[in-house]
């Protein structure tokens, strides 16, 4: 799904849920979508300040919070960075493959894995409210480059 499709899907979801996709929220989403990889909040702030000189950290953090709460983006916990979600129509937990070499991030969607982890946690009396699974290694391009 390309960025414009994601934006249209997010707009549709907001209309269906009665949410406001303000111009700042939309712009932060566009910046996350256009990033080459995971992007940090202060990098987003720097980009936003180029367009809106009065932008402050709370502006970006509030927009990120809205986008996260509504599953329009994902937060990579170990990197403290954000990546776009290319399945905004589907409620799901984040599962990511992160390349140690080039920092490429691939989102995978394995509902069975999410279900199994939730069941294992509940078996231990733990009640999860979110999951972020991050798997580190080498993407296929970096793996092949190392082998050569």
Question: CA-CA distances (angstroms) from residue 11 to 20, 43, 70, 72?
Answer: 9, 24, 12, 10
Between CA 34 and CA 28 the distance in angstroms is 10
Check the annotation: does 142 bind a ligand.
yes
DSSP 20-40: ---HHHHHHHHHHHHSSS-B-
8-14 CB contacts, 8 Å cutoff, 24+ apart: 9/88, 9/89, 10/72, 10/88, 13/70, 13/72, 13/88, 13/89, 14/70
- Sign of the Cα torsion 115, 117, 118, 120 reads positive
Check the annotation: does 14 bind a ligand.
no
Show binding-site residues for Zn(2+): 99, 102, 139, 142
Show binding-site residues: 99, 102, 139, 142
């Amino acid at each position: 799904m390309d960025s414009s499709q994601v934006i249209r899907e997010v707009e549709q979801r907001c209309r269906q849920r009665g949410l406001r996709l303000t111009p700042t929220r939309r712009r932060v989403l566009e910046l996350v979508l256009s990033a080459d990889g995971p992007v940090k909040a202060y990098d987003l702030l720097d980009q936003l300040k180029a367009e809106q000189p009065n932008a402050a950290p709370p502006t970006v953090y509030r927009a990120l919070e809205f986008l996260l709460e509504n599953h329009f983006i994902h937060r990579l916990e170990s990197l403290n960075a954000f990546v776009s979600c290319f399945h905004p129509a589907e409620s799901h937990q984040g599962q990511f493959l992160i390349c140690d070499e080039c920092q490429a991030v691939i989102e995978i969607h394995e509902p069975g894995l999410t279900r199994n982890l939730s069941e294992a946690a509940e078996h231990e009396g733990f009640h999860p409210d979110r999951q972020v699974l991050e798997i580190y290694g080498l993407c296929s391009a970096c793996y092949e480059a190392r082998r050569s």
